[in-house]
Amino acid sequence: MRIACVFNPFKYKLHEENLKIVQRYFGLFPPLSMAWVCAIAERAGHDALLIDARTLRLTKEDVLDRLKAWKPDILGFMMTTYMFRETLEWVSFLKKNLKVPVIIGGYNLRVYPEESVSVDGPDFGCFNSAYHTLPRLLEELAGQRRFGDVPGLIYKENGLVRMTPSGPEPKFNDYPNPARHLLPNDLYAEFTTERKNFTVMVTSKGCPNECLFCEAGHTAYNPRSPETVLGEVRECYTRYNIREIDFFDYDFCVDRRRIDAICDGMIKSNLDVTWACRTRVDYVDEALLCKMKKAGCSRIYFGIESGVQEILDRLNKGISLQQIRDAIEMTRRLGIMALGFFLVGSPGETRETFSQTIRFAKSLQLDYVQFSKLTAKPLTPYWRQMVRETGVDYWRDYILGLAEDKPLPRPWTSLTNEEIDLLTKKAYVMYHCRPMFLLHHTLHVKSWSEFKRKFYAFLEMVFRQERVSTLDENFVAYPEDAGRLSSYRRNNRRNGVS
Ligand code: B12
Ligand code: SF4
């Protein structure tokens, strides 16, 4: 069977936690979920195609032409809750023109499995991992079509949406490596990228902590072994010329023995690769940071959330301001850049608490900051509370097409959504418009593309941000490398694909 997965471009949404400018400059990333899906299909003996229409700047019509030439038996899409309706438009368009079945998967199917498939467009849904589901589905599509026998599947039958039991949770370690050979690996970059080629890796699922704003809280930890991780790093280095990796795990350092072994392996292999990861301030100490630095770690993203202890406690973050100060000081002293994630509009937040947070952020001398508007995201404790208390589930209504994209209420703070939006913008401007900060960053850029990306982002942040966030029909992600993209498109045209 032939499965073609499509990663569509997506626009800024009012209900998301980030500002439009953050979304625009966040980066162009490999569509990793579907790269796993394709790898799983290929391992089972099927043919796979993955079209990253977002990075390649392809329109629906361009993608249709490519698919007509490739002739898939089934189309695949990854669904997040936030971008569900936009991806659904792509599903409808391509399905109407190609007349092949569509399977959807991804995080939104964990939250709203039946609803996701009940809408017009998708024929099948994979509500957990593709690991067992996809090979069995492809087998049934080619043969008997007994969909009830496929584990973890949602499908439509006689006007009803049916769901099969999901079967045992596969070990993440047993997955093949994502099918990066199907991707334009030299086009990816994130805001902080210093080297090319850049990629993203995910080496564990889940997180044992229980921060109340986070959907990963208290989810089963399912890691890949150090050997598997090192094997993927080596593959990235030799096969795809990757020189910078961002480990996108919810928390890369949950298991001290695992991270120790990964770092030891990286030091031993002596590959010319730098990397970044996310972790908590209470998971690092001097010995670990020294080892991470030696292993090529150049940036760590820490969840700091607030500069007010009372707010950290209300978020159930389980860390103190002193722990934050110590971890950031150590990280920077050892020559690793530190990024801090902060929340705006937390429970009990006022203008005064947020001023304290900005002062705290500045005092830490972080290399990067990200301020996000605290939002009741699906599967978080705040979302559960909101649904319980109001009886309305905005996200469910949104994916069913019953609610428009809009900022969600934040009953836990007296600040209005408009004030939170303004404070978030102000925080970015206040943090970045400091002469010493600007000088330091200008002197430390490593390439022309890094300089251009950061310079344009700065200009847009200071001069082009609207007062209150609005939708933008012409929204596109910052085109990292327009020259390389054009040559890709030219080559493809020469080879007969649009
Ligand atoms: C890498 C990543 C990205 C990358 C690439 C996109 C991708 N998912 O491949 C980038 C940066 C582009 C991205 C973008 C966004 N992301 Co993202 N992303 C991730 C991240 C960190 C890892 C995904 C991954 O590879 N996981 C490991 C694989 C093995 O697991 P998996 O993704 O669940 O995939 C398995 C199954 O779900 C299933 N499956 C998944 N897709 C499909 C498709 C088919 C056809 C089938 C059959 C099965 C299937 O099979 C897979 C293999 O078993 C996850 C968090 C996480 N740790 O999982 C967030 C996550 C998926 N992203 C999230 C969000 C919010 C976004 C954005 C909206 C952010 C933004 N504002 O821009 C966008 C939306 C993109 C879109 N088109 O909708 C949320 C989704 C929450 C939700 N309720 O939907 C997550 C869970 C992060 C979070 N904690 O909030 N993301
Ligand atoms: S914020 Fe970080 S530590 Fe807290 S639950 Fe989420 S992933 Fe885990």
The domain locations on the chain are: 2-19+30-163, 185-470+477-482
What's the pLDDT score for residue 491? 76
Q: For the chain, give me the number of helices (H) and strands (E)?
A: 19, 17
DSSP 173: G
Q: From the CA of 193, how far away is ligand 1's center (Å)?
A: 20
Q: From the CA of 375, how far away is ligand 2's center (Å)?
A: 15
Cα–Cα distance for residue pair 374/347, rounded to 1 Å: 9
> Tell me: the pLDDT tens digits for 401-413?
999 999 999 999 9
> Tell me: the pLDDT tens digits for 89-126?
999 999 999 999 999 999 999 999 999 999 999 999 99
Write the DSSP assignment of 297-339 as a string of letters: EEEEEEEEE-S-HHHHHHTT----HHHHHHHHHHHHHTT-EEE
Write the DSSP assignment of 196-246 as a string of letters: SSEEEE--EEEES---TT-TTBTEEEEEPPHHHHHHHHHHHHHHH---EEE
200 CA: nearest ligand 1 atom = 1
pLDDT at residue 284 above 90?
Answer: yes
Q: Which CATH architecture has domain 2-19+30-163?
A: 3-Layer(aba) Sandwich (3.40)
Q: From the CA of 313, how far away is ligand 2's center (Å)?
A: 14
Write the DSSP assignment of 359-378 as a string of letters: HHHHHHT-SEEEEEE----T
Residue 486 pLDDT grade (very low, low, confident, very high; cuts 50, 70, 90): confident
The rounded percent of the chain whose pLDDT value lies above 70 is: 99
> Residue 94: which H helix or E strand, with range?
helix 84-98
Residue 497 pLDDT grade (very low, low, confident, very high; cuts 50, 70, 90): low
> Tell me: the pLDDT tens digits for 412-457?
999 999 999 999 999 999 999 999 999 999 999 999 999 999 999 9
**CATH code, residues 185-470+477-482:** 3.80.30.20
Q: Is 214 in the pocket of ligand 2 (CB under 6 A)?
A: yes
What's the pLDDT score for residue 490? 77
Residue 481 pLDDT grade (very low, low, confident, very high; cuts 50, 70, 90): confident
Q: From the CA of 81, how far away is ligand 1's center (Å)?
A: 10
251 CA: nearest ligand 2 atom = 7
From 280, 302, 319, 323, the mutation candidate for ligand 2 (largest count of ligand atoms within 8 A of CB) is 280
Instruction: Confirm if 316 and 354 have CB atoms less than 8 A apart.
Output: no
DSSP 71: -
User: CATH topology of 2-19+30-163 equal to that of 185-470+477-482?
Assistant: no
Rg for the chain (alpha carbons), in Å? 23
Cα–Cα distance for residue pair 369/465, rounded to 1 Å: 18
Listed in sequence order, the residues at least 6 apart from 388 whose beta carbon sits closer than 8 Å to its beta carbon are none
pLDDT at residue 498 above 60?
Answer: no
Q: 352, 367, 390: which is closest to 443 by C-alpha?
A: 367
- Mean residue pLDDT of the chain comes to 96
- Residues having CB closer than 6 A to ligand 1 are 5, 10, 16, 18, 23, 29, 31-34, 36-37, 76-78, 80-83, 87, 103-108, 111, 126, 129-131, 134, 200, 202, 215-216, 248, 250, 378
* Antiparallel, parallel or unpaired: β 27-28 and 189-190: antiparallel
Write the DSSP assignment of 388-426 as a string of letters: HHHS--HHHHHHTTSS---PPP-TTSSS-HHHHHHHHHH
Distances (CA, A) of 239 to 32, 184, 196, 232, 233: 17, 13, 14, 10, 10
> Does residue 442 sit in helix, strand or coil?
helix
- Cα 164 to chain center, whole Å? 28
Residue 61 pLDDT grade (very low, low, confident, very high; cuts 50, 70, 90): very high
> Tell me: the pLDDT tens digits for 125-134?
999 999 999 9
Tokens linked to 91: 């599903």
pLDDT at residue 20 above 60?
Answer: yes
Per 3-state DSSP, the chain is made up of helix, strand and coil in percentages (nearest 5) of 45, 15, 40
Write down the pTM of the prediction.
0.97
> Tell me: the pLDDT tens digits for 345-381?
999 999 999 999 999 999 999 999 999 999 999 999 9
322 φ, ψ (degrees, to nearest 5): -65, -40
Distances (CA, A) of 55 to 22, 28, 50, 245, 474: 17, 6, 12, 18, 16
249 CA: nearest ligand 1 atom = 57
What's the pLDDT score for residue 467? 87
Listed in sequence order, the residues at least 6 apart from 303 whose beta carbon sits closer than 8 Å to its beta carbon are 211, 278, 280, 281, 317, 341
Q: Is 303 in the pocket of ligand 2 (CB under 6 A)?
A: yes
